[in-house]
Amino acid sequence: MPIARIALDIPLPTLFDYTVGEGMEISVGQRVLVPFGKRQMVGVVMELIAESEMAAERIKPLTSVLQDSAPLSAELLGLLNFCADYYHHPIGPTVLSALPTRLRSDKPLTVRLPEWYGLSEAGSTPDPLVVPKRKVVQHRILDMLTQQSCSLDQIKRLSSTAGGQLKALLEAGYVVRCEPVRAAHSLVNAHTLTDEQQVAVQAVTRQKGFGCFLLHGITGSGKTEVYVHLMHHVLQQGAQVLLLVPEINLTPQLEHYFRSRFPDAELVSLHSGLGEGERMHNWLQAQSGAAQIILGTRLSVFAELPKLALIIVDEEHDSSFKQQDGLRYSARDVAIFRASQRGISIVLGSATPSLESYHNAQSGRYHLLKLSGRAQAAARLPSVRCLNINQTTMHHGISENLLREIAQRIARKEQSLLFINRRGYSPVLMCTSCGWLSGCKHCAGKLVLHLSDKRLRCHHCGYQIRVPHACPSCGNADLQAVGSGTQRIESVLQEHFPEARILRVDRDSTRNKRAWQTMREQIHANEVDVLVGTQMLAKGHDFPELTLVGVLNPDSALYSADFRASEKLFAQLAQVSGRAGRSAKAGEVIIQTAFPDHPLFRALREHDYETWAQTLLIEREMAGFPPFVFQVLLRAEGRQEGEVYAFLQRAHAEAKALAHTVEVYGVVAAAMPKRANHFRAQLLVQGDTRKILQTFVRAWRPSLDAIPAQRLRWSLDIDPMDF
């Protein structure tokens, strides 16, 4: 009997062998049900072989082959094998985590095939007694179907009641189910491209085979319009486009935008915010080739796409593309490998490219495409100025100068945005008598004051308590909120501008499902005067009436231990600055800082990413940091601090015994040494090339597996982003 080698969601770096019963039709990539211990588990067939190294009596038979979905393609399995090998993660969890939750279950799938509808002969002249004028939605459906046959999803977009009205038309015999007939692809509202945009589009469309393009365009330069024209080119060929975005919050507005530009194209979203059924449906649409535009966050890089012809990674510098647990992959890097594997183009777009991508473009590995001017002729880059907080009067984190500028915008019915990357009311509560601080008993961090619900919360482990009436240490009742968060800034603004419409946008205020969509509609309708927000507002949004951006408290990143801190800060401030002055109205950015002459702020004032990037690259090369070296970080955590350090010291000794071509650093505490009652430490190894580092890790890994660590969790992080 043939042997099937199965990937199971078991944290072991191996496949599991099972015999295939007579009469079972099975192929590589198929989902199967197998016995594992006392359980039945879903796995994926990775190989079919004639003989196994295991003794025949130890090999169990497959329980059943799940025929309710198409097998995974050899291309996708190759991609997942590459990820398991490169990121040194067990193959089973790598394969299974890439699938929608419903495909990991043994419950039968109820796959709803796309339904298409067209007009019957009677539908062209409906009886006015059956479809009177007051039934507006029914008339809109009939008008829509007069042009072409449409899918159920397209019809439902007409109205919330369109499903019920369609059913009535079916019963009346005016509409019939039919085979899908795609209309000729069309691009709505095609803009005339600038010269730089035209050059970018032509460079990508003329590329034969694999090509990686870095689209470096300033904020407001029309990168999205370049994406639209590239998509148009691909859709005309009947192929698929994958567009990766860093944040779930960006998907609804981008989905609406691309639907308006490509009304005839099938677009689906893939992200963790979808329900299981909806995500399953969208994934199957992509797998069947019916979905032409796939818009998603990092996990969608593993979507099954048989007609894939172009990948776009928007805001490619964003750290959200790096998964921080389980399979610690970079979706941007995996997307580049996938494009290379398939022999297609990939476009990395950003106003502030990561130094790795920029270095690759400078060295010729990537093709560099530039958009140096704003797409709207009337729009200009905002002026940026720094306010020295040591030379002005401050009102709970906001300077008098900034308050005056906000008042002027309110009088002119223009919008302002205050950016502070800390939610809550205050970062910490302090006793004025003994100096007690509101620390988290489970973490090395502090409890953040959330005044609206009178709670102290840890943003790392979720622990929370009520605000104490007196100091737990000395009993003093005078407890003071130190520092500012979004809630406190909102409160200060309400005191200064009682008539103004102030909106706070952070993870707390957008917790409800439709909250952010409602807020975005308010902003676009100019029903908001002042926005207070975190990095949720920094990326990808286009608010025409926003003319002032105030940046509060950015200085902490300037003296961070993270060597990427200044790179991240520049990108963040450039992104949030780009929200101002995107239409004909001039924009202004005011940065409150104690270091107004710092080179980073000077580069921001001059909108000079290139000089700043070159400065950082010189520093990185001198210090021996990426992109001039390659890194792997061994992380460990456990409840006993001694056990964590003993494991890492043993790992360090094993690494030193192997290391001839890599540099092994000492064991150090993590940036947050204690989190959720677990002590955390790490060990860094660097190599001059990926090949040297990978060769070392493959030799080191068996030694790590052999070190006793029953009460610890440890992981290898290839190309780490955070320390």
pLDDT digits (tens, 9 = 90+) for 134-152: 899 999 999 888 877 888 8
Q: Give the domain-ending residue among 415, 442, 477.
A: 477
48, two tokens: 């079919």
Kindly state whether residues 584 and 532 are assigned to the same domain: yes
Catalogue the long-range contacts made by 438-447 (C-beta closer than 8 Å, 24 or more residues apart): 442/674, 442/675, 442/676, 442/677, 443/672, 443/674, 443/675, 443/676, 444/672, 444/673, 444/674, 444/675, 445/672, 445/675
Domain-located, residue 377? no
- Other Cβ atoms less than 10 A from the Cβ of 1: the count is 13
Domain-located, residue 443? yes
Helix (H) or strand (E) holding 275: none
Mean pLDDT over 58-79 rounds to 92
CA distances, 178 to each of 72, 118, 181 (Å): 29, 6, 9
Q: Give the domain-ending residue among 339, 371, 403.
A: 371
8 A C-beta contact, residue 489 and residue 427: no
Chain position carrying tokens 């998964």: 323
* End-to-end CA, the chain: 50
Residue 114 pLDDT exceeds 70 = no
Distance CA 102, CA 118 (A): 32
Could you give the percent of the chain with pLDDT greater than 90?
A: 60
pLDDT at 2: 87
- Other Cβ atoms less than 10 A from the Cβ of 478: the count is 10
Give tens-digit pLDDT for 15-25.
Answer: 999 999 888 88
Kindly state whether residues 583 and 673 are assigned to the same domain: no
Distance CA 128, CA 121 (A): 16
CATH number of the structural domain spanning residue 650: 3.30.70.360
If one compares 379 and 157, the residue with the highest pLDDT of the two is 157
Residue 117, exposed/middle/buried by CB under 10 A (0-12, 13-18, 19+)? Answer: buried
Domain-located, residue 185? no
Kindly state whether residues 213 and 347 are assigned to the same domain: yes
CA distances, 228 to each of 223, 235, 344, 561, 658 (Å): 9, 10, 17, 40, 50
pLDDT grade for 57, boundaries at 50, 70 and 90: confident
Kindly state whether residues 236 and 88 are assigned to the same domain: no
Kindly state whether residues 215 and 322 are assigned to the same domain: yes
Q: Three-class SS of residue 394?
A: strand
Residue 183 pLDDT exceeds 60 = no
Q: Give the domain-ending residue among 104, 124, 157.
A: 104
Kindly state whether residues 139 and 243 are assigned to the same domain: no
CATH number of the structural domain spanning residue 398: 3.40.50.300
CA distances, 547 to each of 192, 585, 586, 702 (Å): 26, 7, 6, 57
Strands 267-270 and 383-388: unpaired
Q: Three-class SS of residue 439?
A: strand
| 90-94, 381-385, 676-680, 682-686: least confident range | 381-385
Domain-located, residue 183? no
- Other Cβ atoms less than 10 A from the Cβ of 377: the count is 9
Domain-located, residue 133? yes
Residue 681 pLDDT exceeds 70 = yes
pLDDT at 676: 92
Domain count, the chain: 6
Mean pLDDT over 481-505 rounds to 90
Residue 719 pLDDT exceeds 60 = yes
8 A C-beta contact, residue 105 and residue 43: no
CA distances, 640 to each of 635, 670, 678, 692 (Å): 15, 15, 8, 34
529, two tokens: 């005067």
Kindly state whether residues 524 and 586 are assigned to the same domain: yes
- Other Cβ atoms less than 10 A from the Cβ of 4: the count is 30
8 A C-beta contact, residue 275 and residue 309: no
pLDDT at 112: 63
Kindly state whether residues 395 and 314 are assigned to the same domain: no
Full residue range of the structural domain in which residue 702 is found: 630-718
Residue 378 pLDDT exceeds 70 = no
8 A C-beta contact, residue 649 and residue 656: no
Mean pLDDT over 321-325 rounds to 93
| DSSP per-residue codes, 594-663 | S-TT-HHHHHHHTT-HHHHHHHHHHHHHHHT-TTSSEEEEEEEEES-HHHHHHHHHHHHHHHHHH-SSEE
The mean pLDDT value of the chain amounts to: 90
8 A C-beta contact, residue 505 and residue 532: yes
If one compares 453 and 279, the residue with the highest pLDDT of the two is 279
Distance CA 325, CA 675 (A): 15
Give tens-digit pLDDT for 194-251.
Answer: 999 999 999 999 999 999 999 999 887 889 999 999 999 999 998 999 999 998 877 8
**Apex CA 88: angle with CA 87 and CA 92, to 5°?**
105
If one compares 276 and 665, the residue with the highest pLDDT of the two is 665
| DSSP per-residue codes, 139-164 | HHHHHHHHHS-EEHHHHHTT-TTHHH
Domain-located, residue 85? yes
| 59-68, 75-84, 350-359: least confident range | 59-68
Residue 178 pLDDT exceeds 90 = no
Kindly state whether residues 288 and 416 are assigned to the same domain: no
Residue 185 pLDDT exceeds 90 = no
Identify any residues that bridge with 240 across adjacent strands, giving them in sequence order.
308
pLDDT at 600: 94
pLDDT at 604: 93
Mean pLDDT over 574-599 rounds to 86
Give tens-digit pLDDT for 379-433.
Answer: 678 899 999 999 988 888 899 999 999 999 999 999 999 998 877 777 888 998 9
Domain-located, residue 439? yes
Kindly state whether residues 492 and 613 are assigned to the same domain: yes
- Other Cβ atoms less than 10 A from the Cβ of 9: the count is 18
Kindly state whether residues 329 and 401 are assigned to the same domain: no
| Residue 166 main-chain phi, psi, to 5 deg | -65, -40
pLDDT at 452: 77
Kindly state whether residues 215 and 318 are assigned to the same domain: yes
Give tens-digit pLDDT for 338-376.
Answer: 999 999 999 999 999 999 999 999 999 999 999 987 767
Domain-located, residue 189? no
pLDDT at 540: 63
pLDDT at 191: 79
8 A C-beta contact, residue 145 and residue 117: yes
Burial 327-361 (b: 16+ CB within 10 A, else e): bbbbbbbbbbbbbeebebbbbbbbbbbbbbbbbbb
